[in-house]
């Protein structure tokens, strides 16, 4: 039997917000995994990881965090409640896993899941100046926030990741952001349940960039992000179907 993909419209956070989500259910479920994207992301970005987990027997639930994707609420302090809503839905499947990237990784580590998988988690409450500039200039186009700096305030308000003996898999790339690597090393060194995995393959190499390339960066990110753009995801199906209905039928292929 195939993996079933369902879009959920009835998942609710504890503070009363609808949490848009996709649920992938394998024929035989052995555990439940709730997946959360990073700042500026959306649930669709986590479907690849979710499909891999579903292949292994996990019911995999990808959610939109508030301020992102189809979530009706703006960015705010209840981010963890959106992840917890997903974990609550999955508890009937057995043991739970929280999987998150960047901001989502920080939330996974703070969640009630039996196992947290934090992919390059945003651990520092004060990012480097380079990271701050990247957030202010490149990280807010897909987020409904009060200001580009709101995420910096929210990270500070979250406080440190609580100490725990629960299993935690913390992942970073070999060429990841230095402040994140330092924060991950400190977390793994101080918490007995934390295990480090450094990804070695497929790393970008450092390069000296000219001012022209730096000015080109916003266009590069616009290009890469377009497949997950909120306007595109919302309107593409109706536009495709409208054009399909207007198109004349293709002639049948020639018989050989």
Instruction: Please check the confidence at residue 137 and state whether its pLDDT lies above 80.
Output: no
93 and 177 inside one domain: yes
Domain annotation covers residue 254: no
Domain annotation covers residue 256: no
Total domains, the chain: 2
Lowest mean per-residue pLDDT among 12-26, 137-151, 160-174: 137-151
Domain annotation covers residue 252: no
The pTM for the full model equals 0.90
Which H or E run includes 115?
strand 115-119
214 and 156 inside one domain: no
Tell me the pairing of strands 194-199 and 167-173: parallel
124 and 222 inside one domain: no
Q: How sure is the predictor about 103, in pLDDT bands with cuts at 50, 70 and 90? A: very high
Domain annotation covers residue 26: yes
Q: What is the mean pLDDT of the chain?
A: 92
pLDDT at 127: 74
217 and 93 inside one domain: no
216 and 167 inside one domain: no
Tell me the pairing of strands 21-25 and 58-63: antiparallel
59 and 119 inside one domain: yes
Lowest mean per-residue pLDDT among 86-95, 169-178, 215-224: 215-224
pLDDT at 29: 97
Domain annotation covers residue 59: yes
Q: Are 8 and 88 in contact (CB under 8 A)?
A: no
Domain annotation covers residue 110: yes
Higher pLDDT, 241 or 83: 83
Higher pLDDT, 235 or 20: 20
89 and 212 inside one domain: no
Domain annotation covers residue 253: no
What value does the mean pLDDT take over residues 160-183?
Answer: 93
227 and 122 inside one domain: no
168 and 123 inside one domain: yes
pLDDT at 230: 83
221 and 198 inside one domain: no
Structure confidence by residue, pLDDT tens digits, 104-122: 999 999 999 999 999 999 9
Structure confidence by residue, pLDDT tens digits, 58-85: 999 999 999 999 999 999 999 999 999 9
* Last-in-domain residue among 189, 206, 223: 206
Helix axes 150-158, 103-110, angle to 10 degrees: 20
31 and 63 inside one domain: yes
Instruction: Please check the confidence at residue 146 and state whether its pLDDT lies above 60.
Output: yes
Domain annotation covers residue 189: yes
117 and 185 inside one domain: yes
pLDDT at 69: 94
Residue range of the domain that includes 167: 4-206
Residue linked to tokens 């990012």: 127
Instruction: For residue 35, report the phi and psi dihedrals to the nearest 5 degrees.
Output: -115, 135
Pull the structure tokens for residue 24. Answer: 């992938």
Structure confidence by residue, pLDDT tens digits, 16-54: 999 999 999 999 999 999 999 999 999 999 999 999 999
pLDDT at 119: 97
CATH number at residue 169: 3.40.50.1820
Structure confidence by residue, pLDDT tens digits, 204-227: 898 888 989 888 888 888 888 888
What value does the mean pLDDT take over residues 147-174?
Answer: 92
Which H or E run includes 100?
strand 96-101
Instruction: Please check the confidence at residue 250 and state whether its pLDDT lies above 90.
Output: no
- Give 176's contacts (C-beta < 8 A, 6+ positions apart): 120
């Amino acid at each position: 039997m195939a993996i079933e993909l369902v879009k959920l419209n009835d998942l609710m956070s504890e503070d009363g917000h609808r949490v848009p989500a996709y649920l992938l259910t394998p024929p035989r479920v052995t555990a439940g995994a709730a997946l959360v994207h990073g700042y500026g992301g959306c649930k669709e970005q986590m479907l690849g990881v979710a499909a891999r987990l579903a292949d292994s027997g996990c019911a995999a639930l990808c959610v939109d965090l508030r301020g992102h994707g189809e979530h009706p609420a703006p960015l705010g302090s209840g981010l963890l409640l959106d992840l917890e809503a997903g974990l609550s839905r999955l508890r009937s499947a057995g043991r739970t896993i929280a999987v998150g990237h960047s901001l989502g990784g920080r939330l996974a580590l703070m969640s009630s899941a039996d196992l947290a998988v934090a992919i390059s988690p945003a651990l520092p409450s004060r990012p480097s100046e380079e990271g701050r500039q990247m957030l202010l200039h490149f990280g807010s186009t897909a987020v409904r926030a009060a200001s580009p700096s709101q995420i910096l305030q929210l990270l500070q308000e979250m406080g440190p990741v609580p100490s725990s003996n629960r299993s935690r898999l913390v992942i970073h790339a070999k060429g990841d952001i230095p402040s994140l690597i330092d924060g991950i090393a400190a977390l793994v060194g101080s918490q007995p349940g934390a295990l480090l995995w450094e990804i070695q393959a497929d790393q970008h190499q450092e390069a000296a960039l000219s001012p022209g390339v730096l000015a080109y960066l916003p266009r590069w990110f616009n290009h890469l992000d377009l497949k997950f753009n909120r306007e595109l995801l919302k309107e593409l199906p109706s536009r495709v179907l409208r054009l399909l209905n207007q198109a004349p039928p293709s002639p049948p292929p020639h018989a050989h």
